Structure 1
Amino acid sequence: MAVRLDDLDRKILAQLQQDGGQSLDEIARTVGSSKTPVWNRIRKMREAGVIRAQTYLLDPEALGFEACFFVLIRTAEHDADWQAAFLRALRERPEVLEAHRLAGDIDYILKVRVKNARAYDAFYQALISEVKVHNVTALLSMEEIKSTTALPL
């Protein structure tokens, strides 16, 4: 369910998406308000679930995670027990940054960040030892052209 936001809320959210480490004073000045109303709006948007978390974005390559794989998974299994085991296996692996269930020929796509191809193979071997999959295709990203967490407000 969408939450009603006005222009000031959207400006505040845009500032938070740009740099969540800004002070309330900086955000208020940028959006043309004062500190207390900005704080109250942020608090209300947290309570409403519009703002899920405050976090920092790390540079994966600076930390040695140089390989990004998109993993396409097809399965012949679709029962609840298999799905629960598969979802548990994904949630337990910090290498999996994103996982999506898809419509179409591919059942799932994963975004996996690892140090190198050997680390991806270890991830792959561990995953298939836990859950049965019909087909796995790993695509190595050669270059990240665009990556953002900012929503188009």
Structure 2
Amino acid sequence: MMARLDELDRKILRALQTDAGQSLDEIARQVGSSKTPVWNRIRKMREAGVMGPSTVLVDPEALGLGTCFFVLIRTSEHEAGWQQRFLAALRARPEVQEAHRLAGEIDYILKVRVANARAYDVFYQALISEVRVFNVTALLSMEEIKSETALPI
């Protein structure tokens, strides 16, 4: 269910998406309010599930994880047990930054972040040893052109 947000809530969310580490005073100044109402709105939005936990965005290049693969997976298995094993395998692999179940010819797409092609192969070998898949296609991202975490609110 979609949360009801007014313009002040949206301004607060935009400020937090830009930098969640800024002070309440700074957010209040940006949105044209005072600290207490801003804090109350943030608390209410957290309680309503509009916002999850605050995290830090880390530069993958700085940690030697500059290689990104998009992995397309087709499977002939569609039973609940297979899907549970597959999802557990994905959740256990920190290299998988995103995983989506798709409509169409491809069943799943993964965003996998690793150090290099050899590290991807280690990931791939581990994945196919845990669950059976029909076809895997790995696409190497040559350049990240745009990456946003902020939603267009």
With normalisation by structure 1, the TM-score equals: 1.00
| CA distance in structure 2 between the aligned counterparts of 1:128 and 1:8, rounded to whole angstroms | 48
**Superposed CA offset, 1:44-66 (max 9, x none):** 00000000110110000011001
SS at match of 1:143: coil
Report the residue type matching 1:99 in the other structure.
A
Could you tell me which residue of structure 2 aligns to residue 29 of structure 1? Answer: 29
Give the percent of matched residue pairs that are identical in Structure 1 and Structure 2. 79
In the TM superposition, 1:2-151 aligns within 5 A as 2-151=2-151
**Superposed CA offset, 1:93-147 (max 9, x none):** 0000000000000000000000000000000000000000000000000000000
How many matched pairs? 153
| CA distance in structure 1 between the aligned counterparts of 2:8 and 2:2, rounded to whole angstroms | 17
Q: Return structure 1 stretches of 4+ with deviation > 2 angstroms.
A: none
With normalisation by structure 2, the TM-score equals: 1.00
SS at match of 2:36: helix
* Alignment gaps of 5+ in structure 2: none
What is the alpha-carbon root mean square deviation over aligned residues? Answer: 0.3
**Superposed CA offset, 1:24-73 (max 9, x none):** 00000000000000000000000000001101100000110010000000
| CA distance in structure 1 between the aligned counterparts of 2:17 and 2:56, rounded to whole angstroms | 11
